[in-house]
C-alpha cells in the first residue's frame, strides 16, 4: 500500500479517539448517565468501540452488532458474505446505549442498527459516536460525537483498516477499491 492511500494515520486516529472519549465523558456526565452500554457495529465500529470502552473504563462488557440481516439493499446485493452473530452481553431494555461506528455517510447502516437494537428491547436512549462523519447523508441521522468531520467526492471511498494499527484509507470507487 502506498503512503498516499492513507488519509489518517494511526497517531491521528488515536488522538481523535482521545477527543471522542472526552466528549463522550462530558456528555454522559451532563446527562447523568452512569452505566452506559457500549455497542460497536461490525467491523470497524467494533475496533473503535474497543478503544473507547477501555478509555472510558466502562464496567459492562462491550457488545457488537452485525447489521447484515437488516440491510435495506438485500434484494440488490444479496447476502453479505461474512456475517458474524450480534452479541449483546446484557439486555438493552431501559439502558442508555452508546452506538459506535467507523464511518457515517448515508445513515443507512445506523438506521439498520437501530432496527437490530429495537428487536432486542427498548433502550432508554441511544448516543451515536463515529470516527468519521462525512458527506452523503441520505437519511435524517447525525452523529452525537465524531472524531473527524470531512467532505469527500461522491466517488471517494474512506475505510478503516485494523484492528492494529488503525488506519483510514482513501481510494477512488472502482479505480482502486479498498478491500
Residues near other proteins (CB under 8 A): 44, 66, 68-71, 73-87, 103-106, 108-109, 115, 118-121, 134, 136, 177, 179
8-state DSSP, 123: -
CB of 29 to other proteins, least distance (A): 30
Distance CA 34, CA 127 (A): 14
* Cα–Cα distance for residue pair 26/3, rounded to 1 Å: 35
User: Between residues 50 and 66, which has the closer beta carbon with respect to other proteins?
Assistant: 66
Asked if 56 contacts 96 with a C-beta cutoff of 8 angstroms, the reply is no
User: CB neighbours of 50 closer than 8 A, spacing ≥ 6?
Assistant: 40, 62, 163
* Of the candidates 44, 33, 39, the residue with the CA atom closest to the CA atom of residue 118: 39
CB of 37 to other proteins, least distance (A): 15
Q: Compare residues 29 and 60 and give the one whose CB is closer to other proteins.
A: 60
Q: Residue 32 or residue 85: which is nearer to other proteins going by CB? A: 85
CB 25 to other proteins: min, Å: 26
DSSP 79: S
Residue 93 CB, nearest approach to other proteins (Å): 8
Give the nearest distance from C-beta 130 to other proteins in angstroms. 10
Nearer to other proteins, 54 or 121 (CB): 121
C-beta separation of 26 from 84 below 8 A: no
Query: Is the CB of 28 or the CB of 162 nearer to other proteins?
Result: 162
Amino acid at each position: 500500500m502506498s503512503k498516499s492511500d492513507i488519509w489518517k494515520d494511526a497517531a491521528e486516529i488515536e488522538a481523535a479517539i482521545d477527543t471522542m472519549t472526552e466528549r463522550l465523558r462530558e456528555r454522559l456526565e451532563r446527562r447523568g448517565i452512569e452505566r452506559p452500554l457500549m455497542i460497536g457495529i461490525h467491523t470497524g465500529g467494533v475496533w473503535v468501540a474497543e478503544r473507547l470502552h477501555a478509555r472510558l473504563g466502562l464496567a459492562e462488557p462491550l457488545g457488537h452488532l452485525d447489521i447484515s440481516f437488516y440491510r435495506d439493499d438485500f434484494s440488490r446485493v444479496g447476502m453479505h458474505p461474512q456475517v458474524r452473530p450480534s452479541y449483546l452481553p446484557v439486555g438493552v431494555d431501559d439502558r442508555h446505549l452508546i452506538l459506535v461506528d467507523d464511518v457515517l455517510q448515508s445513515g443507512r447502516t445506523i438506521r439498520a442498527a437501530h432496527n437490530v437494537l429495537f428487536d432486542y428491547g427498548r433502550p432508554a436512549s441511544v448516543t451515536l459516536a463515529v470516527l468519521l462523519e462525512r458527506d452523503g447523508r441520505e437519511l435524517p441521522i447525525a452523529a452525537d460525537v465524531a472524531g473527524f468531520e470531512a467532505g469527500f467526492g461522491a466517488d471517494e471511498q474512506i475505510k478503516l483498516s485494523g484492528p492494529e494499527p488503525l488506519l483510514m484509507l482513501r481510494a477512488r470507487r472502482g479505480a482502486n477499491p479498498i478491500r
